[in-house]
A and B are shown apart, each in its own frame.
Chain A
C-alpha cells in the first residue's frame, strides 16, 4: 500500500518564530511609545563608545535605556551605566547574534519606567545579525574609519538591511588616510539613499547631527502612534 514519492507544496518561513516574536515586540513598543534603535557592527567598531555618548546626550531631555548583547562579560553594561541610563546586559553564551526572544526575555521584569528610546546593541558581527528582526524601528550600522572604506562591499547583506550608517572614530580618519568619498560611494552602491553620519564619540564631533536625526525619527514615530 505504499505509494511512490510525491511532492507536497508548503510555504513556511524558516524564521517565522523569530518574526512573530519581533512583530509582537514592535507592537508592544508602539503601545508604550518607545522608539527602538538596534546597533550592529563588527567587534571593536565603537558601538559601546557611541552608545555611551548618545545616552549621555539624550539623558537630560529623554528617557533612554539600553540592552547590550555579548557572548560573555558584563563589561559593556558597566561602561554604559556611567551614562546613568538603565542598562541590561544580554550574554548569549556562544551565540553570534541576538534573537527577538532574547530581547523579550531581557525585558521581562526589567523596571525601566516609560521610555522614549530603547537601544539594542547587538553582538559584534556583520554577518548573522542581518537575518534576525528584533522588533526595532531603526537599524543603525556602525563602521569605524580604521576598518577600511570597502566594508559595505564586503558585508553587503547587513548594510542593505540597515536604515542608517554611522562612521565612527572620525578623529582617526587622517591617521589612517580614510577616503570618505569612497566610503560614501560604497554605501550608496549597497544601499541606495542611505543616510550616514560621520562621528567621533571621543571628541563629540558629528554627534549632535546624529542625535538630531534620532530625535526627529523618534518624533515622527511618536506622531504615528496613537496616544
Chain B
C-alpha cells in the first residue's frame, strides 16, 4: 500500500504549481498506467486523506486509466495488449516485450480558478 505516499506527492506537486501560478485547484487530472503498480481505487481514497488540511481540501482527483500498449514486431504497429497477464499481439499472437504505454503516473492538467481559497485553519 504505497498509494498514500503517492497521493501526498501528487498533492505537494499540484500545490507547488498552484502557488507558482497563484491559482486555486478544483481538480487534478492524472494519467495512470495499468503497469504503474498503483491501484486507482486506493489512490482516490488516499487522495482525500492527503488533501485534508491543505489548500487542496475538497478538490477532485480525476484519473484517466491508460491501457498497456506494446509494439508488435510482426505487424509493425503499436497495439493494446489484451490482458496484463498476456503480453502478446491481439491480432497475430506475437509476444510483445516492448512496452510503449502503460507505465504512466503523471499529472496532466489542473482545473483551477483564480480566486485564492483561504487555507484551512491550522494548516502550515
Contacts and interface: CB of A to CB of B under 8 A. Distances in A.
Do these two chains interact? yes
Interface of A: 1-17, 95-97, 127-128, 130-131, 153, 156-158, 160-161, 188-193
Contact of B37 (A8, A131, A190): A131
B111 A189 contact: no
Interface string B20-53: 0101001001100001111000000000000000
B105 A13 contact: yes
Contact of B88 (A14, A153, A192): A192
Contacts of A13: 105-106
B66 interface: no
Nearest to A131: B37
B90 interface: no
A131 B87 contact: no
Contacts of B88: 189, 192
Contact of B95 (A1, A11, A192): A192
Contacts of B9: 14-15, 17
6 contacts: A7-B111, A12-B17, A153-B85, A157-B35, A189-B88, A191-B87
Given A5-B112, A160-B87, 19 more contacts: A1-B114, A2-B114, A5-B26, A6-B111, A7-B109, A8-B21, A8-B23, A9-B109, A12-B17, A14-B9, A14-B106, A15-B9, A131-B37, A160-B84, A160-B99, A161-B35, A190-B84, A190-B85, A193-B95
Contacts of B1: 96, 128
Nearest to B84: A156
B113 A6 contact: yes
Interface residues of B, number: 37
A192 B108 CA distance: 31
A193 B35 contact: no
Contacts of A7: 29, 109-112
B96 interface: yes
A1 to B, nearest CB: 8
A3 B96 contact: no
B10 interface: yes
A10 B97 contact: no
B2 interface: yes
Contacts of B37: 127-128, 130-131, 157-158, 161
Contacts of B21: 8
Nearest to A99: B5
Contacts of B87: 160, 189-192
A191 B35 CA distance: 12
B93 to A, nearest CB: 11
Nearest to B16: A12
